[in-house]
Amino acid sequence: MLLRRRATSKIALGVAALLAPTLLGTTATAAPATGPGSSVAAPATSSLTWQGCGGDIPATVECTTLKVPLDHRKPGGKKIDVSLSRIKAADPVERRGVLFFNPGGPSGSGLFYPLALSGLLPQSVKDRYDLIGFDPRGVGASSPLACGTTTADERLTYRPYKDATFAKDVAWARDIADRCRNRNKETLPHITTRNTARDMDLIRAALGERRISYFGLSYGTYLGSVYTQLFPRRVDRFVLDSAVDPQRVWRGMGQSWAEQAETAFDRWTDWTARHAARYGLGDTPAEVEGLFWDIVARADREPLDLGGTRFDGAEVREYIRWEITHPSVAARTLGLLRDAAAGKPVPAFPTFVPTDNELASYLAIVCGDTRWPTAPAVYRADSRRDSVRYPLYGDSVSNIFPCAYWDRPVEAATKIDNRVPALIVQNEWDSQTPLATALGLRRALKGSRLVTVDEGQGHGVYSLGISACADDVATRYLTTGRLPARDVTCAADPLPAADSRSTSQGPSTAPARLPFSGR
| Residue positions annotated with a catalytic role | 218, 430, 459
Instruction: Report the distance separating Cα 497 and Cα 489, nearest Å.
Output: 24
Helix ranges (DSSP H) in 275-375: 276-279, 285-301, 313-323, 327-341, 356-368
Given a contact cutoff of 8 angstroms between Cβ atoms, the answer to whether 478 and 451 are in contact is no
Instruction: Report the distance separating Cα 72 and Cα 159, nearest Å.
Output: 35
DSSP code for 399: S
Torsion of CA 36, 38, 39, 43, to 10 degrees: -80
Instruction: Report the distance separating Cα 480 and Cα 256, nearest Å.
Output: 35
The b-or-e profile of 275-294 (16+ CB within 10 A means b, else e) is beeebebbeebeebbebbee
Residue 222, exposed/middle/buried by CB under 10 A (0-12, 13-18, 19+)?
A: buried
Q: How far apart are the first and last CA of the chain?
A: 4
Instruction: Report the distance separating Cα 517 and Cα 367, nearest Å.
Output: 16
Residues counted in the chain: 519
φ, ψ (nearest 5 deg) of residue 409: -55, 145
Beta bridge partners of 79: 69
Could you write out the three-class secondary structure of 159-182?
CCCCHHHHHHHHHHHHHHHHHHHH
Instruction: Report the distance separating Cα 317 and Cα 330, nearest Å.
Output: 11
From residue 393, give the alpha-carbon distance in Å to each of 4, 322, 353, 396: 18, 11, 19, 6
Given a contact cutoff of 8 angstroms between Cβ atoms, the answer to whether 184 and 365 are in contact is no
413 C-beta neighbours (distance < 10 Å), count: 19
SS3 84: strand
The b-or-e profile of 296-314 (16+ CB within 10 A means b, else e) is bebbeeebbebbeeebebb
